Amino acid sequence: MVNAVQILATALAAVGVAAVATQNHLEALKDAPPGITYKLAKGMQSSSKWSYLPAKATKAAPHVQQLRAIRADRATSFNPRSAAAVLGAHQRHVGGFGYENITSTSAYGTQYAVDASFSGHQLSLIIDTGSSDTWAVQKNFHCVDYSGELLPQETCGFGEAYPENFQYGVTNPATHMYIQYGDGEVVTGPMGFSDVSVGNLTAEKQQVCLANTTYWYGNNKTSGLLGLAFPSLTNSYLGTGAQHDFGNQVQYSPLFTSLVGQGLVDPLFSIAIDRNASSGVLALGGIPPVTGLDKSRTAVLDMIITSVISLPETAYEYSFYTVIPDGWSWDQTTTTKKIPYIVDSGTTLNYLPTSVADAINAAFDPPAVFLWMYGAYFTSCDAFIPQVSVVLDGINFNISPVDLLYRGLVDPLTGLCMTAIADGGSGPYILGDAFMQNALVVFDIGEAKMRFIPRQRY
C-alpha cells in the first residue's frame, strides 16, 4: 500500500499549501488504517475559466433542489452506502481490527434522493458525495445475486426503470461503467450521452450509464444514483465486457464537473438536512435559503479525500469528503488531538475514537452503556444530555441535545434509547446526520475547501 503521508505530501506540494499547514496535516494523517489513503483535494479553479472568489461560497444559491428523505426501515432495508457500512465492509475484507464496533446498526439510516431527468424523463436518484458516476437502471436490466445468479427484477428494489436508450448514442470507443459499492453491491452497464437535468440546470450530452446488470439493495423508490465527487473517482472502462482493471480505466467529466465546465454554475454545492431526517436541500452554486445560519462564524477547512480501497482487482474504490477538526468539547472537557473525520449525510451517528466516545457517553446521566449487539451506546430515554460540540476552525459547533439521543431507537429488552455518539474504533471517524442537522455543509470544489456554517435549531 502506498504510504498515506507520501500521497498527502505530493498533493500538498501540487496545490502549494504553506509549510506549517503541511506539517499539521502530516501529523494528523500519518496513522492511516490498513487499506485507507488520504490526499488533499485539488481546487477546480486552477484549471477553470471561472472568475471565482471564495466569497461566493456563502452567497445565495441560484439553483436549489429539494431532497427527499428515504428512511431505512430496520425490518426491511438498510443503507449499505453509508460511510459506516463501507468501512465495516472494508474491515471484514482486510481482516484487521478497529471497525469491530461499526456493525449492522450503523447501516440503518437515511438516503436522500433528488428528482433528476435523463433526456426529459424524470427519475428519482440518490445523491452520493462518496462517488462520481451518475446512472439509472434501464428497463430490461438483469437483477442478480452475489454469485451472479439471475433474480426477479423486483428483488433489487428499484423504482421506475429508465424506458429509453441514450439520447446521443454510446461512447466512441465503447466504454462501460463498473462500480462495486461498500457492502458488495455491483452496478455495470454501457456508457453513453444524454442531457441530464437537476436543480433547473441541464448538463448537455452528459456521460452517464444505463445499468443493465445490478446486485443492489434498493428502497423501491429510486432508479439510480447521482454522484457528486471528483472526475478521478469515475468508473468508466474500455470495452463492453469484464475488463475492469486500472489499465482500461477512462476518466470522464461527472455531472457536477460538467455543469461547472459548461458555465452553468459556480464550482461549489451545499447540503442542509433537516432534523429527524425528514427532508433537506441541495443547493448548486451557493447556499440554500435555510433559517438560523450565522455566516459570521463560518469554518473553513482543507478538503481531504479519504479513499477506501479493498479490492483493487475489481476496481473497488470508494472515497469520501473528509476534514480535520480541532477536537471535541463536552461539559468542562476538551480534547485537541487532530484526527480525520468523514462528513457523510448517509450515516446516522457520529463515530469517534473509543476514548472520546466512552467519555462523552459517560457524561449522560445516567451514563450510557455500550450494547455490543448494536455496536452503540444506550441510556435512559429521559436521561440528562451533556453539552457536546465539535470544534472546526476554532469554532464550536454545538450538537443539539435533541440530536444526541434517539428516542425512537429503543432496545426492546432494556427499554433504553440509543445515543448519537458511537465508537469508531481506530477510524476513519465520521460526522453523520447528528452533526449535519446542526450545520450547513458547503463543498467548495473551486477552492478545495469544506465550509461549515452553524445552524441554530434547538
pLDDT digits (tens, 9 = 90+) for 99-154: 444 544 544 567 888 999 999 999 999 988 878 899 999 999 999 998 889 999 99
The answer to whether residue 326 scores a pLDDT higher than 60 is yes
Point out the catalytic residue in the list 128, 133, 403, 444: 128
Which pLDDT score, from 0 to 100, does residue 60 have?
75
Average pLDDT of the chain?
82
d(CA 417, CA 71): 19
Is-contact 257 284, C-beta < 8 A? no
Do residues 267 and 260 lie in contact, with contact meaning Cβ atoms separated by under 8 Å? Answer: yes
pLDDT by residue (tens digit) across 290-304? 878 888 899 999 998
| Cβ–Cβ under 8 Å, residues 401 and 385 | yes
Output phi, psi for 178, to 5 deg: -135, 125
- DSSP assignment of 376-408 equals EEEE-TT-B---EEEEETTEEEEEPGGGTEEEE
Contact criterion met (CB below 8 Å) for 410 and 416? yes
pLDDT confidence of 198, banded at 50, 70, 90? very high
Q: Convert the pLDDT of each residue in 227-238 to its tens digit.
A: 988 888 889 999
> What's the rounded Cα separation, in Å, for the pair 183 and 261?
33
Residue pair 383/429 in contact by the 8 Å Cβ criterion: no
Task: pLDDT band for 274, please (50, 70, 90 cuts).
Answer: confident
* pLDDT reported for residue 90: 67
DSSP class of 153: G
Has 128 been annotated as catalytic? yes
> Quick check: 330 pLDDT over 90?
yes
Q: What is the predicted pLDDT for the residue at 316?
A: 52
| Catalytic residue list contains 344 | yes
Q: Report pLDDT digits (tens) over 48-81.
A: 444 444 556 667 777 877 887 776 554 334 677 7
Please tell me the predicted confidence (pLDDT) of residue 108: 54
Q: How far apart are CA 332 and CA 154, in angstroms?
A: 53
| Domains contained in the chain, CATH given | 4-46+286-454 (2.40.70.10), 112-264 (2.40.70.10)
The residue from 344, 423, 433, 444 that is catalytic is 344
Q: Cα 223 to the chain's mean position, in Å?
A: 18
